[in-house]
A and B are shown apart, each in its own frame.
Chain A
Amino acid sequence: MSEGNATPDAEPRADPWADPHAVPFLQVRNVTKKFGAFVAVDNVSLDIYKGEIFCLLGGSGCGKSTLLRLLSGFETASSGQIIIDGQDQEGVPPFARKTNMMFQSYALFPHMSVEKNIAYGLKRDGLPKAEIAARVSDMLSLVQMDQFASRKPHQLSGGQRQRVALARSLVKKPKLLMLDEPLGALDKKLREETQFELIKIQESLGVTFVVVTHDQEEAMTLSSRIGVMTEGRIVQVGTPHEIYEYPQSRFVADFIGSVNMFEGRITEDHEDHVLIGSRDTQTDIFVPHGISGVVGQQVAVAVRPEKVQISKSQLHDMRNTFTGKIDEIAYMGNSSVFQVLLDSGKRVRVSQSNRMRSNEDTLKWGDRVHVGWHDDAGIVVSS
């Protein structure tokens, strides 16, 4: 169930980032943060709109937390501008910002009960006791922690602490909530369950979320848009679909999901198609659209493993087909992953879903096979 079903986004509501007149809720303009000579955040510009779940995705140490800390005021930018809801945040101390943050370590106050932790922010606003109590109990039921109101943080499990931290950061009804690896401390199963809850809560409250994560699957599941970061820079911003299907660089293609990279040079450049000569394949790779590049330019064609077809017989309906032999097979339950050693010596990863329990035409280790992909499966990246 793989190839060529790249249907355009059938989203019911209009996406604010596609609307040139929409005013972003959060604007980051050319923000740079240096620690001494080290540049942790490098000239980042971002527009984030109301009601989004925007994920900052990147490997460890790429500056995600630092960017979040700049937004909440714990760090001051070396240069650049941060505008939240029309207000320049320069010189606004953290306690005066109308944003809230859910900390990577949760940072629940260890000497206060769950209830007191959640009430803390409301007390600082000097709200009447009755209102505080009502809002705390609303939050407790929202995150399903009613029975644990009087417990101390150290008496809670990791998942429960995560909920309390979420409740505490949401209780002040911030317009913008920043979450630093909110699910990072949870085990895989709990993480997956919590992702959907997080989305539900976000939708019901209408809060704008900026979520930091290093987990690409999590980013894919959660976000309206993803900003991919590396070495302090944002290298691509887009919907999960755009990021996955149309990566603009080798880094993004490689970082999100797995990918086969065919390095080569443009050999023919036409208005409606280009040919790319690669040592990884013996024949030129056909790309069915024009690209901005010149003949001889070094580029790469990225093809997702699930978009590569594999068969013992000739693949007739494709232009990009190559031959090789199966070098390795990994059974993954719902799919099988094949490593095919092409005649050129290049290894290609092919993923096929296991729709039937057994296949007449079962592929075995050592089989000679044809692999290929439909014209639109390959993405050309030049950087």
Chain B
Amino acid sequence: MSATAELNRRLPGGRYIGGVLQRIGLDGRGLVIAIPTIWLLLFFLIPFLVVAKISLSEAAIARPPYLPIWEWSDGFLNINLNFGNYLFLLDDPLYVAAYIESVRIAAISTVVTLLIGYPMAYLIARSSPDRRNILLMLVVLPFWTSFLLRVYAWIGFLKANGIINNFLISLGILNEPLVMLQTDFAVYVGIVYTYLPFMILPLYANLVKLDEAYLEASADLGARPATTFFTITLPLSANGIIAGCMLVFIPAVGEFVIPALLGGPDTLMIGRVLWDEFFSNRDWPIASAVAIVMLFVLVIPIMLLRKVQAVDEGAS
């Protein structure tokens, strides 16, 4: 209500707009919810439906390179749904392996990111307010340069005569350069490095709200700092951990650039498979099917998690 009133006051002609919106049942609150909803519809649901449609069509040498799934002829509507693409994914062990591998790499990277990000977030949240802002600035600072550039910089670090190898050899710790580039290790480094801020920020936002009195109460009741951490801090930051892990895990599963630039030829991630199907094989239906399955691989665990959380909250 008041938000609409505000709108009326601020915008010239806002009274009119506000009136129209109100007539169609939208007040300020509804409006605030409507904008992201429309955004999601336009930029997520519609493209998703397009991809889903393509995944059910048949590949063809044409432009676009697939056959339409419905045709109107002689008064009949012919719908040809081709589930072959999905069956093909199951048939070829490459795809299944790529999914498993992607989930595995993303999961390990997420855990590593959590292990590095949690102490950082904790320290930032516990430092004085002025220090906090500087540290948060440093966390987001890498975003100021291009992501690609930063991944290329890692090549400079990891390659055979790169900075790390040269340094270790000059110290005499190594005789021969370590092979780091084009390995899974490089992919982990790349993912952890890239997604660390996405872990730190939600964790920080959660930990900074943690009331110090809980920690003091725990100590007062005889808990050593480590016990307090595991019995109080960690459970109370569960939501931050979940949010951070989601923000890292989900994009990491579909990551293409990092495995392409840092990974080896046998680093099999679904993002690369997708790329190959689209651009090398120009098999849009298969590529779309790969994308749709990936979505379900991601969505199902998220839904399960939310259900568990809902049950948890209902019980409390």
Contacts and interface: CB of A to CB of B under 8 A. Distances in A.
A349 interface: no
Nearest to B312: A111
Leading 4 A-B pairs by shortest Cβ distance: A121-B221, A107-B213, A124-B222, A107-B217
Nearest to B238: A111
Nearest to A180: B213
Contact of B217 (A93, A97, A103, A152): A103
Interface string B182-223: 000000000000000000000000000001011011111111
Contact of A107 (B211, B225, B227, B316): B211
Nearest to B315: A152
Given A105-B211, A107-B213, A109-B214, A93 B221 contact: no
Contacts of B112: none
A76 interface: no
A101 interface: yes
A109 B217 CA distance: 9
7 contacts: A94-B219, A100-B221, A101-B216, A109-B214, A124-B222, A125-B222, A152-B316
B236 interface: yes
A196 interface: no
A109 to B, nearest CB: 6
A107 B216 contact: yes
Interface in A99-154: 99-101, 103, 105, 107-111, 120-121, 124-125, 152
Contact of A172 (B219, B222, B235): B222
Contact of A101 (B211, B220, B236): B220
A169 B211 CA distance: 18
Contacts of B218: 109, 120
Contact of A168 (B213, B214, B221, B232): B221
Contact of A94 (B211, B220, B227, B236): B220
Nearest to B216: A74
B224 interface: yes
A155 B235 CA distance: 19
A108 to B, nearest CB: 8
B128 to A, nearest CB: 12
B213 A103 contact: yes
A72 interface: yes
Contacts of A99: 220
Contact of B220 (A100, A108, A111): A100
Given A103-B216, A124-B227, A152-B316, A111 B235 contact: yes
Contacts of B224: 95
Contacts of A105: 211, 213
With a 10 A CB-CB cut-off, give which of A100, A111, A168 has the most chain B CB atoms. A111
A107 B214 contact: yes
A172 B235 CA distance: 24
Given A95-B223, A95-B225, 15 more contacts: A95-B220, A95-B221, A95-B224, A96-B222, A105-B213, A107-B216, A107-B217, A109-B217, A110-B214, A120-B218, A121-B221, A124-B221, A124-B223, A169-B220, A172-B222
A268 B235 CA distance: 72
A99 B216 CA distance: 13
A123 to B, nearest CB: 9
Nearest to A178: B220
Nearest to A171: B221
Nearest to B220: A101
Contacts of A100: 220-221
B211 A72 contact: no
Contacts of B221: 95, 100, 120-121, 124, 168, 172
Contacts of A155: 316
B40 to A, nearest CB: 31
Nearest to A153: B316
Contacts of B216: 74, 94, 101, 103, 107
A121 B217 CA distance: 10
Contacts of B236: 109-111
Contacts of A109: 214, 217-218, 232, 236
A163 B227 CA distance: 25
B311 to A, nearest CB: 15
A101 B217 CA distance: 8
Contacts of B213: 103, 105, 107
Interface string B85-106: 0000000000000000000000
Given A105-B213, A110-B236, A152-B316, A72 B223 contact: no
Interface string A168-188: 110010000000000000000
Contacts of A120: 218, 221, 223, 231
A70 to B, nearest CB: 13
Nearest to B222: A124
A95 B258 CA distance: 47
Interface in A160-217: 168-169, 172
Nearest to A94: B219
Interface string B217-255: 111111111010001100110000000000000000000
Contacts of A107: 211, 213-214, 216-217
A34 B135 CA distance: 28
Contacts of A103: 213, 216-217
Contacts of A169: 220
